[in-house]
């Protein structure tokens, strides 16, 4: 998942998707690239365009439509801040503001040290933990601004 330089090798991924399938394969392909490389490098998209014979503008249209795709490298840890309904009424906004102020980034931005990327998402489906964040694959629930500050500090200290 760690971000790599732009020259990523997506050959093995392309091989899994027959070029005849065209645009039908696009989403799966983009998801695989992002999963393996952490984001969608422009060079990779150009190769996808040539492979599937789908215009690059068309691919950009798809990439920019879906919230999960990123055109820029992301941080080592992805913080998913849930702003679903339950999290909202149980104080999610305060937690979000705390994350923003501690890390000095906004939604979909990455810290200068590339340690964290913040992504505000709509419902993680774990409303019993509200307000909840997910850092990579780990959930942190029933948060308060003070608790989230501690959690972030823990990651900063390399815990």
Partner 1 sequence: MKRNLTRLAGAGALEALRADLARRRDPRRLRVRICMTGCRAQGAEEVLKAFEAEIARRGLGERVDLLATGCHGFCAQAPVLVVDPHDFFYGKVTPADVSEIVESSLLADRPVERLLYTDPASGVKVQKAAEVPFYKEQVKIVLRNCGLIDPRDIRQYIERDGYAAAAKALTSLSPEQVIEQVSLAGLRGRGGAGFPTGRKWSLARASQSAVKYLVCNADEGDPGAFMDRAVLEGDPHSVLEGMILAAYAIGATEGVVYVRAEYPIAVEHLKIAIADAQALGLLGSDILGTGFCFNIKIRKGSGAFVCGEETALMASIEGRRGMPRPRPPFPAQSGIWGRPTCINNVETLANIPPILLKGGAWYSGIGTEKSKGTKVFALAGKVNNTGLVEVPMGIPLRKVVFDIGGGIPEGLAFKAVQTGGPSGGCIPRAFLDQPVDYESLAAVGSIMGSGGMIVADERTCVVDFSRFFLEFIQEESCGKCVPCRIGTKRMLEILEDICAGRGRAEDLDTLQELASAIKDTALCGLGQTAPNPVLTTMKYFGEEYRAHIAEGKCPALVCKSLIRYDILADKCTGCMACLKACPADAVTGEKKKVHEIHQDKCIKCGACHAACRFDAITIT
Q: State in angstroms the smallest separation of the CB of 128 from partner 1.
A: 4
Which CB sits closer to partner 1, 65 or 158?
A: 65
Q: Which residues bind partner 1 (CB under 8 A)?
A: 22-28, 30-31, 54, 61-62, 65-69, 83-86, 88-90, 94, 97, 101, 121-130, 132, 137, 139, 141, 144-146
Instruction: Return the ∠ at Cα 120 (arms to 138 and 86), rounded to 5°.
Output: 80
Which CB sits closer to partner 1, 5 or 65?
A: 65
Taking the C-alpha atoms of residue 47 and residue 40, their distance in angstroms, rounded to an integer, is: 11
Count the Cβ atoms, other than its own, within 10 Å of residue 99. 23
Taking the C-alpha atoms of residue 136 and residue 141, their distance in angstroms, rounded to an integer, is: 14
Q: State in angstroms the smallest separation of the CB of 146 from partner 1.
A: 8
Which CB sits closer to partner 1, 31 or 76?
A: 31
Taking the C-alpha atoms of residue 87 and residue 82, their distance in angstroms, rounded to an integer, is: 7
Give the SS3 label for residue 50: helix
Q: State in angstroms the smallest separation of the CB of 41 from partner 1.
A: 17
Which CB sits closer to partner 1, 126 or 155?
A: 126
Structure tokens at 75: 């941080």
Q: State in angstroms the smallest separation of the CB of 73 from partner 1.
A: 18
């Amino acid at each position: 998942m760690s971000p790599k330089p732009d020259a990523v090798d997506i050959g093995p991924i392309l091989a899994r998707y027959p070029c005849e399938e065209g645009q039908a394969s696009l989403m799966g392909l983009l998801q695989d690239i992002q999963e393996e490389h952490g984001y969608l490098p422009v060079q990779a998209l150009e190769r996808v365009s040539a492979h599937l014979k789908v215009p690059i503008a068309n691919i950009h249209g798809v990439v920019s439509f879906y919230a999960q795709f990123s055109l820029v490298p992301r941080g080592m840890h992805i913080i998913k801040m849930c702003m679903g309904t339950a999290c909202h009424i149980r104080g999610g906004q305060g937690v979000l503001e705390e994350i923003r102020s501690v890390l000095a980034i906004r939604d979909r931005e990455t810290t200068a040290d590339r340690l964290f990327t913040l992504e505000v998402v709509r419902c993680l489906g774990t409303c019993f933990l509200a307000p909840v964040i997910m850092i990579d694959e780990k959930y942190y629930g029933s948060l308060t601004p003070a608790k989230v500050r501690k959690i972030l500090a823990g990651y900063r200290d390399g815990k």
